[in-house]
Structure 1
Amino acid sequence: MSIVFESDAIKADPSVAATHVLLIGCGEYPSLAAAGYGSLPPLTSPPVSVTAVADWFLTGADAMPTGQEKEPSEAFCNEDAPLGSVVMLASPVGTYAAPFGTSVEIARPSITNIKAAYVAWLDRLNLNPESRGVFYFCGHGISDGETQYLVADDFGEDGADIWNSVFQLTMTVQATLRKAKASLFYFIDACMELSEEIINQLEDPKALIGGSRRGALTTTDWAIIRATTANRLAYAPDGGVAHFTQALLSALRGHCGVEHPSGNGYSVDVTRLRAAISEFLEFAQADQKADRQKIGKTEGDGNWTVPMHVLSKRPSVMLELDVTPPGFRPVAQAFMEDAGLVRDTKPLATGPVRFVKEHGEWTYGTNSTEPASFPEQVFNRKLLTNAAVRRLIKVN
């Protein structure tokens, strides 16, 4: 287990309310081909994606030296459950350079290491019902058409039972709900592609931990947010952050939230976060015509109002504007205007433009630098509370 951060508060008293994070990025998969599963190649995105998520958690005030922290619109913040620990497993195995200057050797996400890290994560979460647990996985995932299975990095190395390195996600969570007390957030950036091999196994892969179907749940506020829908792939640029993870981080960076019950700040909960991820996932595939990745089914219980992250300022909307027909772009410009009639204008000569503004009521539209070409198109006092909005304005 590779602990990349543990707060002083947790070291002094492990039972204080805190956010405990377990990050897993499986990319190498050195034994897939030898096991006869060459259709599941090594992945270049998981180590990059898991590092990006770790950086977001660790560049806030809880982990960084005073004066070097990023604002809540750029990094993790939750005064009710400050960052308590971050554990990372990633392959290829290497060193993680933490934003606060420490380098940590990262353990491989083998099934044994994943199980050990999961049990330790659960033990921390059992100590306080006001804590938050964040589980993030990026790597190979498969499906029997309904259930998602996640593939550890050492798949294929146990010749007697290669499926020993695959675990069933939903049953893992169900077992956890009868042991943990904290609120739980699972983010799964993995495919759900149908696998005939998994269907034909005599015995299904098991959960990471054992448990009974009987007994009252000790956790009643939890959710799993998946990167893709049943029988579909999740995508990533070669060597870059995966589309779902990028959408997740974009959403967390100040683009969703609702006023905190205390009146101080804005809560980022599952309800707002899922909608924002979906919107940014659409933006990432603007030019993609076929097999567009859509956010998967979200499992969970509770009101989904427990804040995972808290912003200090009102969330922002990213508004993209363009004109059609595109032949008008060389003379067109887009604008946004607030209630005080202060207008922000950007030329459209090189294509669509984006504005980032606080949630609220805005006037937007387009006009021409050559007034005779087309009249100004104005959309007055539109309430913008989405994370990301695209508008294509038709001009004559």
Structure 2
Amino acid sequence: MLLDRPINGSKTHAFVIGVGDYPHAKMGKGVQDNLRQVPDLPSAADSAKLVCDWLLDHQDDLASPLATLEVLISDPAIPNNRYGWANGPADPATEANVIARGLEWYERVVAKPGDVAFFYCCGHGASHLQQPVLFLEDLNRSKVNAWTHINLGQLALSFRKSPAVAAAFLFSDACGQYVPEFELGKSQESLFFEAPNLFVPSRNQVSLLCAAAEGQLAYEGAHEPGSNLKFGRFTQTLLKGLNGSSARWSRNRFGVPCRDLLGDLKSLRRVFFDHWGDDEPFEPYQAVTPTDPLPIVYPTGFELPLVVMTDPPDRMSDYGLVISQQNIPDPPWLKNRNAGASHAWHTTVPPGLDALYAIAIRGQDYHPLLFQPKEPLFDQWVPVP
């Protein structure tokens, strides 16, 4: 366990799983031929480490402060282009460890009314009976159960049936593809939580956000342009949102509500990670949606993303653009871009309730657009002649 500290009142219990090592799913190993070519995923192990560091860095910024952090990471022995992690190593994400440590985490979450669950996983995954699943390190180890996996949909449903849990935020950076042998064969999920009682009323306090919709793949991406260090694309975009890029003004402060993350992710990916290109799809989806916009974190020291275009867009290159606290183009400016660029202007602005202006300038001619930076703004259109 990376963190275990006393917290008065509502608190968060986190469980992070990263499966990058599949030792039984290799040539000459394991029990099924069709599972002997599963590649290792160092980026999955590193993505889990990145999320752990984010949780530790923001332990007091969470809407319910972080009390415990349980971690299991199956880390392949691939040394180059890896994330330097000072908090490891962690125990591997084997079925035995997931069941034992996962049960301890689950029982902590449901022990006292008002606590919050935070769950993150990354690795190879699939859709099974229309539910997202994550495969564990034991994949292809046993004839009894070659497809060792966690059923994330059932985990979400179990929390929905719990009267004690105030909120559960679940995230999966894994593929959602259909695997016929898995879909049609016999498999037993690695159950570490209370089996949902179908006769107990469900509550809508659970969010399950997944990297790839059913039938889709999830991909890794370079952390920075030209870098060989890679993490899950979903993970990087998710953390960008949690760091404040998906914040909204609510209850007299800026918070990141779980219900708005999905709507922001594709835009955040375009604004901050355009070096990934568009050859591979980015199609996250909400497998379970909460009714209320439950806050996950109250970020500090952030700016909100802003995308500015002229209307009509074919006039972009004719105008310089500035962000100002006044509706005239005189400096000082918060941000500016010179004329000549034909693409949308991706920038960021400090959050606040005071009005700002996006101003298109051409010579002595200028055209202001009023906006309020209390949430991310991905489609600000400045009307020009």
Q: Report percent identity of matched pairs.
A: 17
- Deviation readout 1:203-224 (Å, 9 max, x if unpaired): 5646443524344358651110
Q: 1:388 to 1:298 in 2, by over 3 A?
A: farther
Q: CA deviation at 1:294?
A: 1.8
Q: Which residue of 2 aligns with 1:293?
A: 282
* SS at structure 1 position matched to 2:134: strand
Q: Which residue of 1 aligns with 2:72?
A: 89
Q: Which moved more, 1:214-223 or 1:191-200?
A: 214-223
Contact kept, 8 Å, 1:23 with 1:87, in 2: the verdict is yes
> Distance in 2 between the 1:243 and 1:128 partners?
35
- Deviation readout 1:24-74 (Å, 9 max, x if unpaired): 111121222344335542113112211221111112464xxxxxxxxxxxx
Q: Which moved more, 1:228-237 or 1:178-187?
A: 178-187
Q: CA deviation at 1:197?
A: 1.0
Q: Which residue of 1 aligns with 2:225?
A: none
Q: Which residue of 2 aligns with 1:363?
A: 357
Q: Which moved more, 1:173-182 or 1:228-237?
A: 173-182
Number of positions where the alignment pairs a residue of Structure 1 with one of Structure 2: 359
* SS at structure 1 position matched to 2:286: coil
Q: Which moved more, 1:280-289 or 1:42-51?
A: 280-289
Q: CA deviation at 1:281?
A: 3.0
Tell me whether 1:20 sits opposite 2:3 in the alignment.
Answer: no
> Distance in 2 between the 1:40 and 1:256 partners?
35
> Distance in 1 between the 2:39 and 2:173 partners?
16
Q: Which moved more, 1:165-174 or 1:184-193?
A: 165-174
Contact kept, 8 Å, 1:28 with 1:43, in 2: the verdict is yes
TM normalised by structure 2 equals 0.79
> Distance in 2 between the 1:223 and 1:256 partners?
16
> Distance in 2 between the 1:194 and 1:228 partners?
12
> Where do 5+ consecutive residues of structure 1 fail to align?
63-75
Q: Which residue of 1 aligns with 2:56?
A: 58
Residue identity matched to 2:132: Q
> Where do 5+ consecutive residues of structure 2 fail to align?
223-228
Q: 1:394 to 1:32 in 2, by over 3 A?
A: farther
Contact kept, 8 Å, 2:59 with 2:66, in 1: the verdict is no
Q: CA deviation at 1:289?
A: 4.1
> Distance in 1 between the 2:20 and 2:381 partners?
39
TM normalised by structure 1 equals 0.77
Q: CA deviation at 1:128?
A: 2.3
Q: 1:133 to 1:380 in 2, by over 3 A?
A: same
Tell me whether 1:213 sits opposite 2:197 in the alignment.
Answer: yes
Say which of 304, 308, 311 aligns to 1:317: 304
Say which of 174, 182, 185 aligns to 1:190: 174
Residue identity matched to 1:345: N
Q: Which residue of 2 aligns with 1:240?
A: 230
Q: CA deviation at 1:193?
A: 0.7
Q: Which residue of 1 aligns with 2:122?
A: 138
Q: Which residue of 1 aligns with 2:226?
A: none
Q: 1:108 to 1:19 in 2, by over 3 A?
A: same
> Distance in 1 between the 2:206 and 2:370 partners?
37
Tell me whether 1:347 sits opposite 2:331 in the alignment.
Answer: no
